C-alpha cells in the first residue's frame, strides 16, 4: 500500500510517496511534456534529494516518472530558449556573460548531483523516452533498471553542445567501455534496453514500467531492512573507491569503520542471525 511521506507535500513538480517502510518514491510529474525539465524542476529535485538524504524515516529511494511515454525527454529546449541566463543581454561583456553561464551550470550540476550525494541508496527506474538529461540523472543513481521499451540517447550534440551536467564524467566510470561511451556520446544515436544491459549501464530489464517499479520496490524494501549505518557506509565507501586509489580507499574505509563499528547495529544484526529473527535497527 502506497502512503504519503510526511513533509513532502509542498513540492510542485514531483510526487513523493512511501510504498514500503523506510522507502521513498520520487516521481517526476510532467507527463504532458514527456517529463522534460526546466529550471524550477531541477532546482526542486535538488531540494528533494537533499531533504531525503537527512530524513531518518527514509533508508532507500526509488526515482521514476509519471506517465507511460517517457522517463524524461531531457531539457525542455523551448523553455530554455525563452530568455533566461543563457540569453545575451547586450550589455555584459564576454567574461561577465561567461561567469553568469558558469554559475548557472554549477547550480544545475549541483541539483542533479544531489541524487549521487544523497546518503540513501537511490534506484532509478527508466522507461520509454530516456534521453539527454535522463542519462545525467540516472548516472547519479546507485542502481539503474529499466523496462524493455526504453530508448536511450546522449542527445546533447544534436542540440549543439557537449553534455555538461555529468554524463561525460560519470558514464565512462559506470560502463568501463570507453569506445562504446564515445560512440554513443559523439553520435547521439539511440540505444535500447538490451544494449544498455549488455554494456552494464543497467542491471535489470523488465517487461514493462509496472514490473520495473515493482522490482525496484522489492530491492528498495530489502535494502531498507538492513542496518542504515552499514548501508549508508557501504554507499559512501563505494563512491569514494570509484574516484580514488585502492590504498586511499582502504585507509578511508578503516577510518570510517573505526567510528561506525561503535554502533549497536553490529550486535543487533549478529544476534538476529543467531536467533533467526528479523532485526530492527534504530533510525539514523
DSSP assignments along 78-128, one per residue:
HHHTSSSTTS--SSS-HHHHHHHHHHHHHHHHHHHHHHHH-SS-EEEEE-B
Task: Flag whether pLDDT at 248 surpasses 70.
Answer: yes
Lowest mean pLDDT segment, chosen from 65-79, 117-131, 219-233: 65-79
Q: Where are the domains of the chain?
A: 3-224, 228-275
pLDDT of amino acid 117: 97
Higher pLDDT, 81 or 150: 150
Task: Flag whether pLDDT at 86 surpasses 90.
Answer: no
Q: What's the average model confidence in pLDDT over 261-283?
A: 87
> Selecting from 3.90.226.10, 3.40.50.300, 3.90.1150.10, 3.40.50.1000, what CATH number does the domain 3-224 have?
3.90.226.10
127 in Cβ contact with 68 (< 8 Å): yes
Strand partners, 206: 147
Lowest mean pLDDT segment, chosen from 145-149, 235-239, 259-263, 270-274: 270-274
Q: What's the average model confidence in pLDDT over 116-127?
A: 98
What residue has cell string 517502510? Answer: 21
Q: What's the average model confidence in pLDDT over 166-187?
A: 96
189-200 residue pLDDT tens: 999 999 999 999
Q: What's the average model confidence in pLDDT over 62-83?
A: 88
Give the pLDDT band (50/70/90) at residue 84. low
Task: Flag whether pLDDT at 92 surpasses 80.
Answer: no
pLDDT of amino acid 88: 67
pLDDT of amino acid 129: 98
pLDDT of amino acid 97: 85
For domain 228-275, give the CATH superfamily: Lyase 2-enoyl-coa Hydratase, Chain  A, domain 2 (1.10.12.10)
168 in Cβ contact with 108 (< 8 Å): no
Task: Flag whether pLDDT at 284 surpasses 70.
Answer: yes
* Residue 203: partners with Cβ closer than 8 Å, 6 or more residues away: 143, 144, 145, 197
Give the pLDDT band (50/70/90) at residue 85. low
Task: Flag whether pLDDT at 214 surpasses 80.
Answer: yes
Q: What's the average model confidence in pLDDT over 247-274?
A: 91
Alpha-carbon distances of 45 from 13, 16, 93, 113, rounded to whole Å: 8, 11, 32, 10
| Per-position DSSP letters for 175-235, written without gaps between them | H--HHHHHHHHHH---EEHHHHHHTTS-SEEESSHHHHHHHHHHHHHHHHTS-HHHHHHHH
Q: Which of 259, 258, 281 is nearest to 269 (CA)?
A: 281
Residue-averaged pLDDT of the chain: 93
15-49 residue pLDDT tens: 999 999 999 999 999 999 999 999 999 999 999 99
pLDDT of amino acid 82: 67
CA distance 212 to 227: 25
Amino acid at each position: 500500500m502506497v502512503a504519503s511521506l510526511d513533509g513532502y507535500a509542498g513540492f510542485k513538480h514531483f510526487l513523493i510517496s512511501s510504498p514500503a517502510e523506510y522507502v521513498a518514491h520520487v516521481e517526476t510529474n510532467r507527463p504532458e511534456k514527456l517529463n522534460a525539465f526546466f529550471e524550477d524542476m531541477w532546482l526542486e529535485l535538488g531540494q528533494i534529494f537533499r531533504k531525503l538524504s537527512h530524513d531518518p524515516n527514509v533508508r532507500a529511494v526509488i526515482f521514476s516518472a509519471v506517465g507511460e511515454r517517457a522517463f524524461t525527454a531531457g531539457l525542455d529546449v523551448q523553455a530554455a530558449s525563452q530568455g533566461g541566463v543563457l540569453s545575451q543581454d547586450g550589455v555584459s561583456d564576454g567574461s561577465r556573460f561567461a561567469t553568469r553561464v558558469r554559475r548557472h551550470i554549477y547550480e544545475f550540476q549541483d541539483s542533479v548531483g544531489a541524487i549521487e550525494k544523497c546518503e540513501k541508496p537511490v534506484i532509478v527506474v527508466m522507461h520509454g523516452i530516456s534521453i539527454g538529461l535522463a542519462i545525467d540523472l540516472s548516472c547519479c543513481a546507485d542502481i539503474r533498471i529499466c523496462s524493455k521499451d526504453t530508448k536511450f540517447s546522449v542527445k546533447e550534440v544534436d542540440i549543439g553542445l557537449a553534455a555538461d551536467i555529468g554524463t561525460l564524467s560519470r558514464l565512462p566510470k559506470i560502463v568501463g567501455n570507453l569506445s562504446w561511451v564515445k560512440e554513443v556520446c559523439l553520435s547521439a544515436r539511440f540505444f535500447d534496453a538490451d544494449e544498455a544491459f549488455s554494456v552494464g549501464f543497467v542491471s535489470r530489464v523488465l517487461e514493462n514500467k509496472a514490473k520495473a517499479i515493482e522490482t525496484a520496490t522489492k530491492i528498495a524494501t530489502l535494502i531498507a531492512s538492513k542496518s542504515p549505518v552499514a548501508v549508508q557506509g557501504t554507499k559512501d565507501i563505494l563512491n569514494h573507491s570509484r574516484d580514488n586509489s585502492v590504498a586511499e580507499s582502504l585507509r578511508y574505509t578503516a577510518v570510517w569503520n573505526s567510528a561506525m563499528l561503535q554502533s549497536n547495529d553490529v550486535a543487533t544484526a549478529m544476534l538476529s542471525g543467531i536467533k533467526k529473527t528479523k532485526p530492527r535497527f534504530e533510525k539514523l
